[in-house]
Amino acid sequence: MVPNILRVFFLIFVALVAARFMNSSVCPTWFPQNWVIPLFLLVGIAILAFDILLPRKSLASLSGVLFGLIAGLLVAYGLSLIVDLIIVPSEFRDEKQINEIKNLVKLGAGVICCYFVISFIIQTKDDFRFIIPYVEFTKQKKGGRPVILDTSVIIDGRVSDIAETRIIENELIVPRFVLHELQTVADSADKLKRNRGRRGLDMLNRMQSNKKIDLKIVDVEFAAEEQAEGVDQKLVLLAQQINGRVMTNDFNLNKVAQLRGVEVININDLANALKPVFLPGERLRVKIVKPGEEPDQGIGYLEDGTMVVAGGGRPHIGEELELTVTSVLQTSAGRMVFGRAEDVAPERKRTS
């Protein structure tokens, strides 16, 4: 909206400059007077067309316009000093005519400089940092760096529960191409994939309707050669562009992002970090649900899904036992707790 308003004002200024030129002594007498304004407007339209064809980022604000206006006026002032040095009176033109030329050149340079500087700032201010010595102007965002959600983590659904606790103050970003992938999965002929896609869309609707969660769906433009990349590659490219982090539980995306220098928040790692810590000698109660690999072992699970291997628990399948923790094993797949039932002694190897 703001760029279009700016373009209209630019054309109005061009028309005013043309009217000033037409009524000044600088305008040649042989030049048709009714061609002046159309010719100037044609030049102004050509400048606008050149600006529209340039790569743009959209978004504008009043602060960008004001900052651009100040910067444009400073550039125009510098150019006016150069004009005073270049255009000097001569034997062919009197001083009045020279001043007319200087004023027109300064006015035109000022309008063009202000337009281009303002246009540049309002189109790039959200993704570009304007640095002045000891002062840095950047876009103010809620929390820290934005977090980009992957398809897998949206379908997983735990990110919604985590965000509801308000522990994440960062802006959550869902690129449009991730939304398209979710829709494709939801329309799949495979029932399992279709259910997963619909669950992901339900999770997005749930997060959008929650006022505690700052979720934003964004359209992202890539270069022609980058459009052919897969979703994982696009997520990494977007994170590099906006200095964000990727949230996922996809192993391959995790590795690719780390190789490209992009920080990753892995939901599985976060869940493992939040599981209770057990030290050898501590006691816990768990229900034995199935036999283990060893002859005397039984397997149980805590409420958070942590697997417990109970020595001597095989005869007590279906019962709840009190175990003494002997060791804890942390793996990329999760945490495993090893323990032994209080009333069961460890088996000793028989010697022949």
Q: 114-123 pLDDT, tens per residue? A: 777 777 766 6
Under CATH, which architecture does the 147-272 domain have?
Answer: 3-Layer(aba) Sandwich (3.40)
Query: Quick check: 206 pLDDT over 50?
Result: yes
Question: H helices within the chain, ranges in order?
Answer: 2-22, 36-53, 62-86, 95-124, 151-156, 158-164, 176-186, 191-208, 224-227, 231-242, 251-259, 267-274
Query: Which carries the bigger pLDDT value, residue 69 or residue 270?
Result: 270
Maximum average pLDDT range among 138-147, 222-231, 325-334 = 325-334
Angle among Cα 48, 54, 60 to the nearest 5 degrees reads 75
Q: Can you tell me the mean pLDDT for 190-196?
A: 87
The pLDDT tens digits of the residues spanning 42-61 come to: 877 877 776 776 554 444 45
pLDDT reported for residue 133: 41
pLDDT band at 87 (very low <50, low <70, confident <90, very high): low
CATH code: domain 276-341 is: 2.40.50.140
**Is the pLDDT higher at 76 or at 240?**
240
Q: Does residue 277 or residue 61 have the better pLDDT?
A: 277
139 or 182: whose pLDDT is higher? 182
Contacts of residue 244, Cβ cutoff 8 Å, sequence gap at least 6: 145, 146, 147, 148, 173, 238
- Choice among 63-67, 83-87, 113-117 with the minimum mean pLDDT: 63-67
- What distance in Å separates the CA atoms of residue 150 and residue 331, rounded to the nearest whole number? 23
CA distance 243 to 234: 14
Q: Which residues contact 101 (CB under 8 A, 6 or more apart)?
A: 26, 87, 93
Tell me the mean pLDDT in the region 323-339: 81
Query: Residues 228-238: pLDDT tens digits?
Result: 578 888 888 88
Instruction: Name the token pair of 152.
Output: 């897998």
What was the pLDDT predicted at 94?
A: 63
pLDDT of residue 299: 92
Domain map (residue ranges) of the chain: 2-137, 147-272, 276-341
Counting Cα atoms < 13 Å in the Cβ hemisphere of 17 gives 23
How much is the average pLDDT of 35-43?
77
